[in-house]
Amino acid sequence: MIRENVEMYKDSGSSKGSRTKIEKVRSDGSRKEEQDIIPGEILLHLFLNDKKISIISCSPGDLIELASGYVLSNGYIDDHNKINLIEFCQENEMVENFNKDNGIIAENIVIKIKTCEVSEKDIMQSGPGGIKYISSGCGSMDDNAAAVWPPSIRSSMEVGGDIILGLNRKNLSKQKYKNAFGGLHSASLFNSSGQMIMVMEDIGRHNCLDKVFGHIFINELDPSNKIIFTSGRVSLDLVFKVSRVSIPVVVTNSSVTYSAAMLADKIGLTIIGYARGNRFNIYSYPERIINSKARKA
């Protein structure tokens, strides 16, 4: 089981924030040297059955969750029980050459995942050498995920509008690292009563989601009665990812794209945007949200 293997390995010891020297410039032209704390960043080299599939720019920490959530939400496997082993490895020659050839100064972490029932044709990637680079600043959707129509969300869960109104405040209050030095996205997992289960922070909004997904699978939680709150924009690629995990409600304090809303409505995924203050907008599958007065506030 994946849980047994996770306990065998320690997560990266890197800091989510690093102190650095800066020059602060003001409108009067004055300059002052100060110390600042900025987000840390590493490169995660992800191998699936001994084939390197991705290089992910991410925040240190919760890397086992990130790796398992990534392969599941991007369609490499459809069941977490197919993961036989997840392990941290020493940097190998391929990683060293990547740094040397690209002039990148960053800590590199290697994670290898062993699965059953994954054929070579299922590992379809773009990029040099068949390796996909996932930056922290933009969405990305693997060929695996895009080639298959996303599964429908089957859940009888209903959520009160008052619950939705409280999620942004709860999410903000638990962002330990963003509150300390900024520069991070977050994603939180809630139950239908609005109780927070956990929160993940990362420089990439998609990484946050994959870390949450990995937590769900590792801890064998039921996703059909959960809500995920994200601080980032909800776009089409996010709908594909969430559909593979079968979470019925996605909430953001930011915007929602038209394509994401249209696809989500077809597969029964409820998307809520601009959930902050005393209002929110339901963009798809509104029947899952009860108490219409809260929705119109």
For position 5, what pLDDT does the model report?
44
Length of the chain in terms of residues written: 297
Residue 173 lies in a domain: yes
Give pLDDT tens digits for 28-80. 999 999 999 889 899 999 999 989 999 999 999 999 999 999 999 998 888 87
Residue 250 within a domain: yes
Is 259 within a domain? yes
Residues lower than pLDDT 50 in the chain:
1-13, 119, 121, 125-128, 292, 294-297
End-to-end CA separation in angstroms for the chain: 46
Q: Do 204 and 101 fall into the same domain?
A: no
Tally of structural domains, the chain: 2
Exposure string of 83-112, with b = 16+ CB inside 10 Å and e = fewer, is: beebbbeeeeeebeebeeeeeeeeebbbbb
| Structure token digits, residue 268 | 């029964």
Provide the CATH number for the domain around residue 189: 3.40.140.10
pLDDT score of 117: 64
Residue with tokens 């290697």: 110
- Residue 223 identity: P
Q: Give me 43's structure tokens.
A: 């490169």
CA separation for the pair 93, 99 (Å, rounded): 10
Show the domain range for 164: 159-296
d(CA 190, CA 197): 5
294 near 178, Cβ under 8 Å? Answer: no
| pLDDT given for residue 28 in this prediction | 95
Domain assignment present for residue 171? The answer is yes
Instruction: Look at residue 243 in the predicted model and tell me its pLDDT.
Output: 95
- Among 106, 137, 168, where does a domain finish? 137
Distances from the Cα of 221 to the Cαs of 12, 14, 216, 247, in angstroms? 24, 28, 5, 11
